[in-house]
Amino acid sequence: MPDRTDRIEKTIVLTGASSGFGRGAAVELARRGARVVLAARRADLLDEIVREIELERGTALAAPTDVSRPDEVVRLAERALEAFGRFDVWINNVGVGALGYFWDIPTEVHARVVDVNVKGVIYGAHAALAHFRERGEGTIVNTGSVDSETPIALQNTYAATKAAVLSLGRSLNEELRLANHHDIKVATIMPWAVDTPFWTHAANYTGRTPRMAAMDDAQLVVDAIVRACVSPKETIPVGAKAKGSRLSHRLFPDATERLSANLARRERDKGDRAEPTHGAVFEPIAAGRGVDGGVRERMAREDR
């Protein structure tokens, strides 16, 4: 397994690169020598990250993309090929969330979460595989969640989409095996709740500021994404809490789901009051530009 000093001489397409562990992975991969093609809706932030990478003598290309639009995803692949002649890794990292009881979340918000989190991954994987099957090698890294295997209350449709991401990855690995594409791999990253701008960008109908217990630091997931680019595994639970939740759900599924639901509700009740919001589900917002989301700091203030 590579350590944090190994060079990665690959061309990598990375969606969801404008903030959170997408942004962190973009900078880290470029620091290690990768040529990164950065996709997200916020073009200004992509340009900012490209400048940051170029100041460190890295190579990056900004490619503003809405992954829910198949034509834009195809164009993203074309831009990578035009700029670098190939790509070796495609990271499907975009994800939007909607928090609250299922019946309190408008149906159009549920639909948009599916459009981005499931269809966006399908479009990205399809574009990547068209190139990888032609070359005979390549890696797809999909960002799932602990929700992929352990559904959590108040994250209903989001959890369902992350289960779909994991299922798609497993199916693709078997199809690639059947088709003798043994050098093409699909990995699914499965983190616990992470302190990133995700919580600022999520649609929120809980009546409280979004939060979750014992959030992990984004660097933990950044490191897992970087490792997956050179050492992909079908499922990659990230951190002790994700691994523990996964094991618990396999042994005691009903009890684990109930405990997770109770935890989600208790954490919600600790938050400050908040008005309903669509967040960044339909349109990008200015807030939430870094890797860290500042959620743990806010939670500490709320808990005083």
The CATH number given to whatever domain includes residue 225 is 3.40.50.720
CA distance 25 to 225: 7
Average pLDDT score over residue span 280-297: 96
Number of domains in the chain: 1
Is 206 contained in some domain? yes
Is 36 contained in some domain? yes
Question: Is pLDDT of 5 > 80?
Answer: no
- Predicted pLDDT of residue 1: 46
Average pLDDT score over residue span 79-87: 98
Alpha-carbon distances of 114 from 19, 26, 54, 95, 162, rounded to whole Å:
20, 25, 35, 10, 10
Average pLDDT score over residue span 268-290: 96
Counting residues of the chain whose pLDDT is more than 90, the rounded percentage is 96
Is 162 contained in some domain? yes
Among all residues, which ones are annotated catalytic? Answer: 158
Is 1 contained in some domain? no
Question: Is pLDDT of 3 > 60?
Answer: no
Alpha-helical runs (H) found in the chain: 20-31, 43-55, 70-84, 107-114, 120-135, 156-178, 198-201, 218-230, 239-251, 253-270, 295-302
Is 3 contained in some domain? no
CA distance 85 to 209: 45
Quickly state the pLDDT bin for 126 (edges 50, 70, 90).
Answer: very high
Is 233 contained in some domain? yes
Counting residues of the chain whose pLDDT is more than 70, the rounded percentage is 98
Host domain of residue 43: 11-302
Is 243 contained in some domain? yes
In this prediction the pTM is: 0.95
